[in-house]
Amino acid sequence: MSRVLAAIDCSQCRQPLENPQRCRSCGAFQAHDPRRDHFSTLALDRSFDLDEAALERRVVQFSRDLHPDLAGGAVGGKARAVLGAAQVNEAYAVLRDRFRRGEYLLQLGGGPTAAQDKAVPDGFLEAMLDERDAVDAALAAGTEACDALAAKFTATLRGHEAVLTRAFADLTRLGDATAAETARADLRGRLRRELNVMNYHRTLARDLREGRRDKEGA
């Protein structure tokens, strides 16, 4: 599933493209490529274990390349810049959030989506009710309790991320040979359940954060 970016040349001046949407040498906008995904939009390899510093750098550089205020005089340049910059922004929003990055990678790998498979481990939903109570209790108790619970949620989310990193790496290693289809489907199912569980924890962490904010704001 990982794919090292093939070097692409500018359709006008034939220089290698750093930004797939616009050539830095001659300023030409490149034709829209329907195969482009959020990773290739930012010239990043398709992987869960992303170099996040590189992601930030790319977004800044590409935003400059595609900024509508600098679109130049070419006919339709402004419209291309708007679309290109919007794609960069959308890609950034998806890839910077590790949960959304995982969802997106799974979708690229053939799913299933959360709507198709809502499975979670036995007893998980009951446990979540307790966790929900813990959020309310921490909010009532005050800063220290909230800090402790937030730290616990952060550790849980880091754990999910570690599992996702390994599972996506395994999926890549399986390659796309027909013989490995059963193994791949099994792995995708595991990824689905991991993401389902992670989503619950993510929501809890967010509710705690917003609950604190509202309390402080009041």
> In angstroms, how far is CA 4 from the centroid of its own chain?
18
Whichever of 67 and 193 has its CB closer to another protein, that residue is 67
Interface contacts to another protein, rule CB under 8 A: 56, 60-61, 63-64, 67-71, 73, 75, 77-78, 81-83, 85-87, 89-90, 92-93, 209-210, 213, 216-218
Of 190, 188, 193, the closest CA to residue 118 belongs to 193
- ∠ CA(93), CA(8), CA(65), 5° rounding? 45
Pair of tokens at residue 23: 């050539």
Whichever of 3 and 118 has its CB closer to another protein, that residue is 118
> How far apart are CB 186 and another protein at their closest, in Å?
28
Residues in a beta bridge with 29? 22
- Please state, in angstroms and rounded to a whole number, the distance separating the CA atoms of residues 188 and 113: 10
> How far apart are CB 58 and another protein at their closest, in Å?
11
Q: DSSP state, 16?
A: B
> How far apart are CB 43 and another protein at their closest, in Å?
16
CA distances from 85 to 3, 92, 140 (A): 23, 10, 44
Whichever of 9 and 147 has its CB closer to another protein, that residue is 147
Whichever of 77 and 189 has its CB closer to another protein, that residue is 77
> How far apart are CB 9 and another protein at their closest, in Å?
26
Residue with tokens 């274990």: 49
> How far apart are CB 216 and another protein at their closest, in Å?
6
The SS3 of residue 65 is helix
Pair of tokens at residue 208: 């705690």
Whichever of 187 and 208 has its CB closer to another protein, that residue is 208
